[in-house]
A and B are shown apart, each in its own frame.
Chain A
Amino acid sequence: MDTVEAPITSEPASATPVTTAVSPAFDRTAPWRLHPGVAVRPEPFGALLYHYGTRRLTFVKDSTLLRVLQSLEDSPSVDAAMASGEVPPESRTRYAAALERLAATDMLVLHDARTDDEHQTARQKGDP
């Protein structure tokens, strides 16, 4: 199509079983937030996330995951956001894994870690 240029990720949170364990580095009790350079556009299938710093486009194909993402801003932890987003307890490992992948691509950042370093990362345009 020649115009969707961003690196593309998709996050079908509940559609596919996740076999990889959540690494200890992703702390579900910590306050994660959407990166300030990320825009969220709700769509019938879920949402599009676009990171202006890395120029990465991510498709969220799950309305529950979108609810969790929207809850992060006002939640003290990922676990609390999943509770607000009405994620059933048995699904939370899977959703946490999806959030961890978003963190790995800089879509999510730790609330108390928005340092100059983070900003530098965002400056490296198209450099995922």
Chain B
Amino acid sequence: MSATAPPRNNRLADQFEAGLDAPICLTWELTYACNLACSHCLSSSGRRDPRELSTEQCKAIIDEFAAMQVFYVNIGGGEPTVRPDFWELVDHATASGVGVKFSTNGYGITPEVAQRLAGSDYVDVQISLDGATEAVNDAVRGAGSYRLALQAMGHLRAAGFRGFKISVVATRHNIPQLDDFLRIAEDHDAQLRITRLRPSGRGADVWSELHPLASQQRDLYDWLVVNGEHVLTGDSFFHLSAYGESLPGLNLCGAGRVVCLIDPVGDVYACPFAIHDTFLAGNVIADGSFATVWRDSELFTELRSPRSGGACTSCEFYDSCRGGCMAAKFFTGLPLDGPDPECVRGFGEDALAARDADRPVPRPSADHSRPSSARPGLPQLPVLSAGPPRATAPAAGPPVKPCAEDPLAGFA
């Protein structure tokens, strides 16, 4: 974020709510195959889908991105580096002027690969790490995953790859470790990225055990206000903006407006966290092209039209949080035009408590979990304290902006 040009988030949001001719960037899960079986996997990955797009189909999609001037694509999975043609596709993208940032658990990052990656301006790497210690990480991501990630990070550092990303999904077990993550990133000449845990994919099964406690949400927000300049968030915490000042980013739900997801079989969803028929816009093969789906699908047209804030309209913080995350609401069984389950004013908890027990919570449409990843539950971890309570800690109750108490706040 530039210090010289303060963001005008609401105005930008107005521009983007009607959608763009092409996404700014998009997420492309190249495969559902994965060497790990993380308990919170947002795409329920594990086994390869036999209908996975071929190398030639993938290259044709990349050519479309180039023609649409999609600046860069976030490639994920599954573990994308298990695809034998992965590096061929990365090369095709960068040769076409489409930047690549790919997410990996470290699987494919050998010393030789790290050397090669360090030599390209157009490729960025994001290593997933959900605990600053082996115990916290492996409880969610599986035994050996911490060492795998640290080994890959070591290779990248040794190769001189500056500024690769370390990507953390914030949970109640790792929020007390935020400063430790920052130190790990600094030690590796990397940049920290912290994003929100969504109840998507297998994440739905563990969300209630893992999502940050209300007090931790406040800790996280305060930490991001202090450290946000150097930490990426994927704009995923805009629901926390109701605490006060907006966090860096666009601060709006970009689903179908500026972002979308292409899954391994070419299905196009409104966002990476919404793998469900309700948010399926089309298929790049069946509909002839990605551009057709992006520009003409009924779903995206609807998502780009003005939306009702529903129950949130009367909330004085609606302009800040805009009702929060569509996927988080959907997969916790909440109405899309009501509060986010993690609404900082607590309305989400009320809504969760008031859910109709007879109405089933939607399940993801695609599940590629390996049978072995059906586990009885998470290993129990203690919720660590972030330290002594702050002297200035706000009293329990809804967060309050100065303007909510005094209409002249900021003008005096």
Tell me if B1 is interfacial: C-beta within 8 Å of chain A.
yes
Interface 0/1 of A39-58, CB less than 8 Å to B: 10101010010101101010
Contacting residue for A2 out of B7, B24, B165, B196, CB 8 A = B196
Interface of A is mostly: loop
* Chain A neighbourhood of B164, CB < 8 A: 125
Select from chain A the residue with minimum beta-carbon distance to B26: A3
Query: Size range of the interface on B?
Result: 35 or more
Interface of B is mostly: loop
Contact B1–A1 (Cβ < 8 Å): no
* Chain A neighbourhood of B20, CB < 8 A: 43
Select from chain A the residue with minimum beta-carbon distance to B161: A125
Contact B7–A10 (Cβ < 8 Å): yes
The residues in B between 340 and 390 inclusive whose CB is less than 8 angstroms from any CB of A are none
Contact A8–B72 (Cβ < 8 Å): no
Interface 0/1 of A7-38, CB less than 8 Å to B: 11111100000001000000000000000010
Contact A59–B12 (Cβ < 8 Å): yes
Tell me if A122 is interfacial: C-beta within 8 Å of chain B.
yes
- Residue among B21, B71, B161 facing the most chain A CB atoms (10 A cut-off): B71
Contact B165–A126 (Cβ < 8 Å): yes
Tell me if B235 is interfacial: C-beta within 8 Å of chain A.
yes
Select from chain A the residue with minimum beta-carbon distance to B8: A10
Contact A20–B234 (Cβ < 8 Å): no
Contact A8–B1 (Cβ < 8 Å): yes
Interface size on A, residues (CB 8 A): 35
Tell me if A91 is interfacial: C-beta within 8 Å of chain B.
no
Q: A53-B121, A104-B4 are in contact. Are A4 and B165 (CB under 8 A)?
A: no
Tell me if A93 is interfacial: C-beta within 8 Å of chain B.
no
* Chain A neighbourhood of B12, CB < 8 A: 10, 59, 61
Contact B273–A123 (Cβ < 8 Å): no
Contact A5–B234 (Cβ < 8 Å): yes
- Residue among A5, A6, A48 facing the most chain B CB atoms (10 A cut-off): A5
Nearest CB in chain B: distance from A77 CB, A: 22
* Chain A neighbourhood of B11, CB < 8 A: 12, 61
Tell me if B193 is interfacial: C-beta within 8 Å of chain A.
yes
Contact A1–B254 (Cβ < 8 Å): yes
Q: A55-B124, A123-B162 are in contact. Are A5 and B7 (CB under 8 A)?
A: no
Tell me if A111 is interfacial: C-beta within 8 Å of chain B.
no
Q: A3-B26, A125-B162 are in contact. Are A8 and B7 (CB under 8 A)?
A: yes
Select from chain A the residue with minimum beta-carbon distance to B123: A125
The residues in B between 248 and 276 inclusive whose CB is less than 8 angstroms from any CB of A are 248-250, 252-255, 258-259, 271-273
Contacting residue for B234 out of A2, A11, A45, A105, CB 8 A = A2
In angstroms, Cα B165 to Cα A55, docked, is 12
Give A residues with C-beta under 8 Å from B.
1-12, 20, 37, 39, 41, 43, 45, 48, 50, 52-53, 55, 57, 59, 61, 101, 104-105, 122-127
Closest 9 CB pairs of A and B: A1-B254, A2-B234, A50-B71, A9-B2, A3-B259, A125-B163, A126-B163, A2-B236, A41-B69
- Other A-B pairs beyond A5-B25, A126-B165, 8, CB < 8 Å: A3-B26, A3-B235, A5-B74, A8-B1, A37-B121, A39-B71, A39-B97, A59-B12
- Can you name 10 A-B pairs with beta carbons within 8 Å? A1-B234, A3-B235, A4-B258, A4-B259, A8-B1, A45-B15, A50-B71, A52-B99, A61-B15, A125-B164
